[in-house]
Amino acid sequence: MQMSHRIDGFQCSPIRRLSPYAREAAAKGIKVYHLNIGQPDIKTPEPALKAVQDYSAKTIAYGPSEGLPELREALSEYYKGYNCQVDPEDILITTGGSEAIQFSFMTVCDPYDEVIIPEPYYTNVASFANVAMVNLVPVTSRMDDGFVLPTIDDFESKITRKTGAILLCNPNNPTGHVYTREELLQLLKLVRKHDIFLIVDEVYREFCYDGKNFVSVLSFPEYADRVVCIDSFSKRFSMCGSRVGAIVTKNKEFLGGVLKLCQARLCPPDIEQHAALAALRADETTYIAEVKKEYQERRNVLVRGLHDIDGVKCNTPKGAFYLVAELPVDDAEQFAIFMLKDFNLDGETVMVAPCADFYVHKELGTRQVRLAYVINPNDLRHSLKCLAAGLKAYRRRMMHD
Amino acid sequence: MQMSHRIDGFQCSPIRRLSPYAREAAAKGIKVYHLNIGQPDIKTPEPALKAVQDYSAKTIAYGPSEGLPELREALSEYYKGYNCQVDPEDILITTGGSEAIQFSFMTVCDPYDEVIIPEPYYTNVASFANVAMVNLVPVTSRMDDGFVLPTIDDFESKITRKTGAILLCNPNNPTGHVYTREELLQLLKLVRKHDIFLIVDEVYREFCYDGKNFVSVLSFPEYADRVVCIDSFSKRFSMCGSRVGAIVTKNKEFLGGVLKLCQARLCPPDIEQHAALAALRADETTYIAEVKKEYQERRNVLVRGLHDIDGVKCNTPKGAFYLVAELPVDDAEQFAIFMLKDFNLDGETVMVAPCADFYVHKELGTRQVRLAYVINPNDLRHSLKCLAAGLKAYRRRMMHD
C-alpha cells in the first residue's frame, strides 16, 4: 500500500523533526534548552487565564464559522492603535495563523500558481504551499545585507501570469528584520501594477526593538483592496497553544472565498477565543511593554553571546524573537543532531533549528540555524556556553573523521 | 483581481449558507428552530467543564503536534470498551474530525485520485475533497432501501487505479444508518483485495438506538493495516466548539504521513484537549446512556411527527442524530429559504439543510432535507407544526405562481 506521492514530498518540520533526539537526551537526564521553537516562557496575560476559569457555558457549542462577533469587534478596535481602519466584517477568525496562511493560499492561487516570498522564510509556509499545491518562488535576502527587503526589481523579475501574491512576514521570522514604510510602499505599488495580492504575516507586530516603529500593511487605505493581513494571538499574548488567529482584508471577494473554507471546518476553538477576547479587551499595553523589554534584553544577551563565539555570525534583529546565525560547521542539521545525541556540557545541551528548509535554495541555509530567544536570560547564557563548547567538540570531531 | 478558480468551485455549506436568512428572521423577532445543524442543546459533561475552570497553566503553550500524550493514552483505554486494541502511538489528535478527514485525504490520495463514498454523505466532505483535489466517486444508497450499504459489486465497479480509499460514516450522517458487522467485513475484504484503505468516520459511535449494536472498524485486527478511523469528541460529549478529534490507525506509514501535516499546523487547541481528557477519564457511561435515551426519544418524536405530515417520507434512523426526509416540494433549497424569509407560524419557523449538496448526483437530493434531532422534544413538536404549516403555505404559493 502506497501513501500519496505528495505526502512523501512533504517535509518533516525542521523545527520539530529532531524532537525524538531531544526526548532521548532528556530521558538520559540531560537538560535541553529549546532555542529551536518560538515557544516563550512568558506568562499568558491574567485576564486571558481568568476568562478560561470563568468560562460559564454549559455546552461548548459551535461558534460562527467567522469567529465570535465580539472578538472580531475587539480586533477592529485593537487595529486602530496601529492606525488601521478595519471593520469587524473585514476580519475572519482562524484556527491560528497557520490556518490563515493556508486559507489565503487556497483563495488566491490555483494549483501550480506561484507565491513570491523572501527567503529565508518561516519554514512551515512550505508545507502550506504544498497542501495548496502552490509553488514558492524565492527572492533571496542575505545576512550580509542585514536581511533587508531584496530590490523591487528582484521581485518584479519573478512575477509571471501564475503569480497570485507576494508573502511577507513582518517583523520577519526567522531573520528579525522589520520592514520600513518605504519597503512596504514599494511592494504595494508593485502588486497594484501587476494586479496581485500582498499578504503580510504580522503576528510579531508587537515586538520591535530599539525604538523601531512598526508599520502595518493595513495602514495604507489606498491599497486596501490588494492587501491581506495574517494575524495571531499566539505570540502577542504568549498563548501559542490556543490556536486563534485571523485573516484581515478589505477585499470582499477574498473574504468570501476564505469564508467557504471556514464553513467547511465549522469554527475555531471556542474557549480559546474567549481567552483571546479577554486579553484584547483588557488592553494589555503594560503587559506588552514589559514583554517587549524582556525580549529586547534576551536578544541582547543572545547576540552578544554569539558574537563572542569564534566563527559564528549573526545580525542584530530589530523585531520578532528569532535570529539566523551562521555557524562554523559543514552542515547545521548534523550539528543540531550532534548537540542532542552526542554532546552535553555538565548535563546540559541546546536544541537549534537547522535553516536549510527555511530556503527554497536549501544550500543557502546549510550552515545556518534559527535561534529563538524565548527563554530567560539566565537559560540563554547557559545555552550559549553549551553552543560554544558544542561547536568546539563538533569541529574537533570533524577533523578526526 | 481574480480569486482562484478552485475557490469559485467550492460550495458554500448547505448547513450554514442560509444563516443570513435565519439572522434576518431572528431580527424580525421570529423564533427559528435549528434542525439544520448538528449542534445539540445537551450539556457538556461536568468533568470537562470543570477541567476548563481548573486549567492551571500560566502559559497556554504549544503542545505536541501528536496531541497530549495523556489524551492519546486515555483514548487507547476508551477504545478497549469497543473491543478495539489500539496503542497510544496509533493515535494522532486532530483539530476536530474535520481536520482528521482532510489529513487522511491528503495522505492517501494524490491530486485527481479518487475516494469512493456512499451518497448521501456528510456534505463538508466535498469541501475536504476539494481542498485535497480528490474526486469523490459516489455509490448511491437509497431511502427506499433504508439507506443500507450499496452492494459490494456497486463499490467494486467504481474501483480504478486512482482509488485511494473508501470512506464510510458509521453511524451515518445524514441517513442514520448503522452498518452491520457483515457490511463492514465485506468492505474490508474488498479494500484488501484492491490494496486500498477503508476510512470510517465513527464520531457518532455512541448513538445507536433500539438496542442496535455498534461495530467499530477498529475491531477487526486482521485488517488493521488498511483501516483508518476518524474520531471526535464533539458529538460524544456535546462539545462541538472544542475542535478536538483524532485519527486512529495501525498503519505506521499512514500515521507518519499524517504527522507531517500535524507538525505544519503545530498543535491542536490545548485547553479543549484537557476538557476532552477529563471527560474520557471520568468514564461518563451514565452520561452517555442518558444522552442516548434522550436522542432516541427525540428521534421518535421527529419520525412520528414527519409521518403525520402529508407527503413527507422518511426512514427511522438507527443511529447518529440526523435523518433525511423527502418533502412534497419541487426544490428543498427554495423551500428552506421560504421558511426563513416568507413564513412563520405564530412567530416561529424552522431552518432545515437542503440535501442536494449531500450528493454528487445532486438531483437525487433536490426534494430532500437533512433534519438534526438535537433540540428538545417540545421544541421538536413546535418545529413539526411549523414544518407542516410551512409545507402547506409553500405548496399553495407554488400553485399560484
Grid look-up 547557559 returns: A382
State the best of A127, A225, A226, A243 to mutate against chain B, taking most chain B CBs within 10 Å.
Answer: A243
Chain B residues with CB under 8 Å of A60 CB are: 44, 48-49, 238-242, 272, 275
> What pLDDT, in 10s, does the model give residues B308-334?
999 999 999 999 999 999 999 999 999
Chain A residues with CB under 8 Å of B3 CB are: 107-108, 253-254, 256-257
User: Which pLDDT does position B3 carry in this prediction?
Assistant: 92
How far apart, in whole angstroms, are the C-alpha atoms of residue A177 and residue A180? Answer: 9
Grid look-up 467550492 returns: B10
User: Which pLDDT does position A283 carry in this prediction?
Assistant: 82
Cα distances from B225 to residues A99, B154, B199, B217, B218, in angstroms, run: 31, 24, 11, 11, 10
> What pLDDT, in 10s, does the model give residues B66-78?
999 999 999 999 9
Chain B residues with CB under 8 Å of A16 CB are: 65, 263
Cα three-residue angle B3-B6-B7, rounded to 5 degrees:
55
> What pLDDT, in 10s, does the model give residues A287-302?
999 999 999 999 999 9
Strands B368-372 and B353-354, how do they pair? antiparallel
Give A217-264 as a DSSP string: GGG-GGGGGGEEEEEESTTTTT-GGG--EEEE-S-HHHHHHHHHHHHH
The dihedral of CA B340, B344, B345, B346: what is its sign?
Answer: positive
User: Which pLDDT does position B13 carry in this prediction?
Assistant: 86
Chain A residues with CB under 8 Å of B270 CB are: 241-243, 272
Pick from A42, A54, A62: which is nearest to B39 by CB? A62
pLDDT at B234 over 80: yes
**Which portions of chain A are predicted below pLDDT 70?**
1
A-B contacts at Cβ under 8 angstroms: 254
Check CB contact under 8 Å for B243 and A37.
no
pLDDT at B1 over 80: no
How far apart, in whole angstroms, are the C-alpha atoms of residue A142 and residue A320? Answer: 18
> What pLDDT, in 10s, does the model give residues B108-146?
999 999 999 999 999 999 999 999 999 999 999 999 999
- Over residues B64-92, the mean pLDDT reads 97
User: Which pLDDT does position A16 carry in this prediction?
Assistant: 83
Check CB contact under 8 Å for B13 and A127.
no
Query: In chain B, pLDDT over 70 holds for what percent of residues?
Result: 100
- How near does any CA of chain B get to the CA of A42, in Å? 7
How far apart, in whole angstroms, are the C-alpha atoms of residue B315 and residue B297? Answer: 15
- How near does any CA of chain A get to the CA of B212, in Å? 27
pLDDT at B166 over 80: yes
Check CB contact under 8 Å for A4 and B49.
no
pLDDT band at B283 (very low <50, low <70, confident <90, very high): confident
- How near does any CA of chain B get to the CA of A61, in Å? 4
pLDDT band at B198 (very low <50, low <70, confident <90, very high): very high
pTM of the entire predicted model: 0.96
User: Which pLDDT does position A366 carry in this prediction?
Assistant: 98
User: Which pLDDT does position A398 carry in this prediction?
Assistant: 85
Check CB contact under 8 Å for B266 and A225.
no
- Over residues B88-98, the mean pLDDT reads 98
- Over residues B162-185, the mean pLDDT reads 97
Check CB contact under 8 Å for B43 and A59.
yes
Cα distances from B336 to residues A12, A66, B329, B352, B370, in angstroms, run: 46, 22, 10, 6, 11
